[in-house]
Structure 1
Amino acid sequence: MSARHILVINCGSSSIKFALIREDREDTLLSGIAERLGSAESELRWQSGEQQHSLKIPHAGHRQALEQLLPQVQQHADGKLSGIGHRVVHGGEHFTAAHLLDAAALAAIRSVSALAPLHNPACLQGIEAALGLYPELPQVAVFDTAFHQSMPAQAFRYAVPEQIYREHGVRRYGFHGSSHRFVGRRAAELSGLPVNDSSWLVAHLGNGCSTCAIVNGQSRDTSMGLTPLEGVVMGTRSGDVDPGLHLYLGRKLGWSLQEIDNLLNKQSGLLGLSGLSNDMRTLEQARSEGHAGATLAIDVFCYRLAKSLAAMSCALPRLDGLIFTGGIGENSPLIRSQTVAHLPLLNLAIDPQANARSVGGQFGEIQAGNHPRILVIPTNEERQIALDTLALLPD
């Protein structure tokens, strides 16, 4: 049987990110983005190998953008597209794994949209457009939250009344599930350990950041909660703050809940601490030049990250290794070394030379001799979504 091709789609309210994955290849055949959808500046951009292309599609919506994308996908798939995998941010408690899309699945995704009002409605736009264009193809929803549905109640419950949880779904869900799942399995493979007999701490670090404790291939705890705001410091998100901050700012400044939400999600994190940027590369350069705000932002980021990893270790029976992944995790020796420096009680230590070499999407073991593994593993969420999709396709 010839190798199968999966189109992976990740929809935002005004964008579609996409990637074409072939099951027997690690690289991506085609990838790109349609952005500023609905505006006069709508544009489709894609890349195959070293070749880059763009196409203006003024006022195109999700369906029109997918229509323009279809010829490129079919060409690179040799006319043999086998299915479509959709990234869906929130599956609530309905979904513990990827799911073939049907009327019941669509209704369940709609039913939890209140938990992800900025994400799920946009995902549904893309799903409905793709179903209309490719009705003959199997299509699968892969949920950011599904991997974390293996967390025990002691990890996912908030200390609020039972009624709030049962009737309104107020609990910890976690996100970045495809990334955590991918690198946890990859770490076991690269270390010669069975996936079902391994224990990892994971730091997924990009503009959004989260930590995870993975035991035997399953999530046992993670730093994000009801929403992606909980947890460690991120690019523009504050991470954990005193819940009383909302009340304090409302009383002191007269701010609305929307204004406070905007502050914590879009104006805080590295950007808020530094007063300069949410981009770690910019902050590292500014730190080297003596910028006090950038130095503070990096110090807080690393300390809070280390605190979270130490907390995640409570869920592990043993530590087989610490994994760094994501744009920052894969490319910043400084962040890795400064974070690990806060974790001597876990007996973690870094080899500076190995750490410096592990950049640019390269796998690396960066621990010092006779210390627990510290691995740099490039994540591949699109491939994980494709694999989850392939697993549900009919034979």
Structure 2
Amino acid sequence: MSTPSSTPGSARADGSSSSVRIGALVPLTPPGWVEAGRHLLAGLELAVREANDGGGIDGRPLELVVRDTAADPRRAAAAVRELAGLGVAALAGEYHSVVARAAAAEADALGLPYLCSSAVLDALTDGPTDRVARLAPAQSHGWRTYADFLLAAGHRRIAVAAQPGVYWASGTRVLRDRLAPRGGTVIPLDMGALTPAGVCDALVDEGATALLLLVGHPEPAVPLVRAVRRDGRLAGILVGAPAGQPEFAGWATSLGADGAAVPFLRYLPERFGPLGARVETALRERLGEAPSFVAFEGHDTVTVLADVLRAHGTDRADLAKAWPHVDVEGTRGRIRFSRTPGIGVWQWAWPPVQVVDRDPAAPGRFRVLHTEPARTRYQ
């Protein structure tokens, strides 16, 4: 279950570490989304290195203790218990929403402060807690922006090919609630019962103008996209993936030109400031490819935690009280946490939200199709 610490600190004679430890939860093996995990870890590690280059935490090195969740909630909960026993000051990371929810529950029960990097499920915890904060926008916020994009593009009959699961069900509900009052219709297609060919037939029968992929990658997303692209009856249909599957290079590798023009949500600004541009260059060197928004979420996570640790010390109870006092320049804007209606954790409201796709003329290049109004982002 464990992987080596990415930045080990020295040990004292009594076995304790002289470093300040942050526990990191990352999906690094299947069935976790390994590409997302690799980008998340790259961002976390880069920010740890930068913090240590700047003197660490009051002269003590910052150490990242990494555990692989493999997208398994039980494995994540066990990792949280282990990390708490190892004396980490705080917990960071995780990409998968259902896994992050299990980690948040365990961290809350143990009194361990947790800054969630990437998971968007609104109900990250069962109720309000002071111990958990989140950088990623809530699903209801980001997916409403995606629904607005669909409406602005003229789509009113929208099919949703969904697998079972809390995250996918929540996304479907957000889309329906946003679209229905504005004349849109959500047509559910059960991927537990339909083959890709069956989905194509249903799209024709229902007169859908858009198909949203609320499914895992590469299966069944890749064969489903191929089937739709090759069906002459569906030449004009929009294929979309609000959960962000096309963000990563594996999507383009698997689908080539078929994977272009599939709009997805991305949490990046239209233009980076000096900090974001510098971090983008460093992440590109570290990853050997363009960094995804997940890598920036990882970097911002450690940037916030390092600032909190310097200002409030390493006592867990003191750290848990620090979220409302955070005011940190991140790669994607100024980060402050607040209480947001319907969200039980301290929330950055909000990171920038874009709807983006891969350019058919050059699938390695992204096109920004829609951005949320700035007034909805920073409150």
Q: What is the TM-score normalised by the length of structure 1?
A: 0.31
If asked which structure has higher relative contact order (CA below 8 Å, sep 6+), I would say 2
